[in-house]
Amino acid sequence: MSLLHPTEGEYIQHHLDYFQLNLHTMHLGNGGFWTLNLDTLIVSITIGALFLFVFWLAARRATSNTPGKLQNFVEMLIEFVDGMVKEAFHGRNELIAPLGLTIFVWIFLMNCMDLIPVDLLPKIASWFHVYDFRAVPTDDLNVTFAMSGVVFLLIVFYNIKVKGLGLTKEILSQPFGWWLMPINVLFRLLEEIVKPVSLSLRLYGNMFAGELIFVLIALLPWWIQWTLGGIWSLFHVLVISIQAFIFMMLTIVYISMAHSSHD
Amino acid sequence: MDINLTIVGEAITFAILIWVTMRYIWPPIKNAMHERETKIADGLAAADRGQHSLELAQEKVKKQLQDAKMEAANIIDNANQRMGKIIDDAKERADEEGKHILLMAKKDIAFEMENAKLSLRAEMADLLVVAAQKLLQQTWNADKDKQLVQQIIEEL
């Protein structure tokens, strides 16, 4: 690959390749399933740690008197998430609100990487002889499926925990009654599997498309880039917030559905 | 579009993030917020109570002021009544005293008059005696006697 004077196709492909570690050979490169996307892991874990650190700072100095700026900001987010949870979920659950906060902030921050100029991080990486680097973790299916997978496991867990044996009855008899038992089971399976798949693909699709369009805009002549780039950036600010919000909201709704029976 | 072992790493990361948020971040901040809510509610209630007691105190002050005014008016009334009575009494007493003094004076005058009469009578008797002596010393001279008696009577 000629990195100095890449063709357009090469440039795009360069932005679609991950910085990967093959666990069979312990060399860089793709090794099928036994591969780690180092770029995704580094960026997402860094962002996650940053999130925890900042919020931990606020939590450590949390006071019931006049809050500082940081605490005010964190409280605003918590209030926001708590309001959403209270609106959609009426049971008692210690996990669901912090889960919503984690999802919202983490996804939002990872999505924000999309607003950093597309060539900045890959350029910096290239100084360390890393020639493929994708900066936006949420445009890696591994991230979105990991998150929706955890959410899926929580949904299953709460379904079983809350409903117990009633769950079996619910799966077998809802929504068409006992006589159409096989169809009920099939429907239920579809319904449950669609949840994590739609969650992760929605986020991935939005972020992948956003990133790709930034890459395409970067191919325009430099004097015209600001027009489309500016518009798309503004639009994308909206998209990344909305995607983070949707992921959080749907998670809350799914888990609250797991708490309530259909009848 | 390739799923690989990264998914496991991300799932673990996600789980850790959730756990830490749930354990160390959400509760302290939520507690602080809750505490502040209670504090603010308490403060507002206290302010309400203060307002209420202020109103009560104002009402009490008003009532006390009214009472004091009424009492003052009563005292003035009483004093006025008392004054009138004292003046009346004094007048009555002065009247009586006056009458008494007058009576005494009259009695005195009467007494003096009686005394005067008495002493006049005595003096007249003396004079009559003197006159009689003078008459006896004179010889029988009817005319002269007559003149003499006339003279004595005039001297009276």
What pLDDT digit, counting tens, does each position of B69-98 carry? 999 999 999 999 999 999 999 999 999 999
- What's the pLDDT score for residue A2? 42
Q: What is the number of other CB atoms lying within 10 angstroms of the CB of residue A163?
A: 18
Nearest to A23 among B1, B5, B30 (CB): B5
Q: Which residues of chain A lie closer than 8 angstroms to B2, CB-CB?
A: 30, 35, 141
Provide the residue ranges of all domains of chain A, joining segments of one domain with +: 8-259
> Contact A41/B32, CB-based, under 8 Å?
no
Nearest CA in chain B to A149: B11
Enzyme catalytic residues of A: 198, 202, 206
What pLDDT digit, counting tens, does each position of A108-128 carry? 999 999 888 888 888 888 888
Contacts made by residues A54-62, CB under 8 angstroms, sequence distance 24+:
A55/A105, A55/B21, A55/B25, A55/B29, A56/B20, A56/B24, A56/B25, A58/B25, A58/B29, A59/B24, A59/B25, A59/B28, A59/B29, A60/B28, A62/B28, A62/B29, A62/B31, A62/B32
Interhelix angle A141-163/A166-173, rounded to 10 degrees, is: 110
- pLDDT for residue B1 is more than 60: no
Q: What percent of chain A has pLDDT over 90?
A: 43
- What's the pLDDT score for residue A1? 39
What pLDDT digit, counting tens, does each position of A74-113 carry? 999 999 999 999 988 887 788 899 999 999 999 999 999 9
What pLDDT digit, counting tens, does each position of B9-29 carry? 999 999 999 999 999 999 999
Q: What percent of chain B has pLDDT over 70?
A: 96
> Contact B13/A142, CB-based, under 8 Å?
no
Nearest CA in chain B to A201: B1
A199 and B CB contact within 8 Å: no
Tokens representing B125?
């008797």
Q: Which residues of chain A lie closer than 8 angstroms to B18, CB-CB?
A: 95, 98-99, 102, 150
Which pLDDT band holds residue A248 (cuts at 50, 70, 90)?
A: very high
What pLDDT digit, counting tens, does each position of A157-216 carry? 998 888 888 888 888 877 777 788 888 889 889 989 999 999 999 999 999 999 889 888
Q: Average pLDDT over chain A, rounded to whole?
A: 87
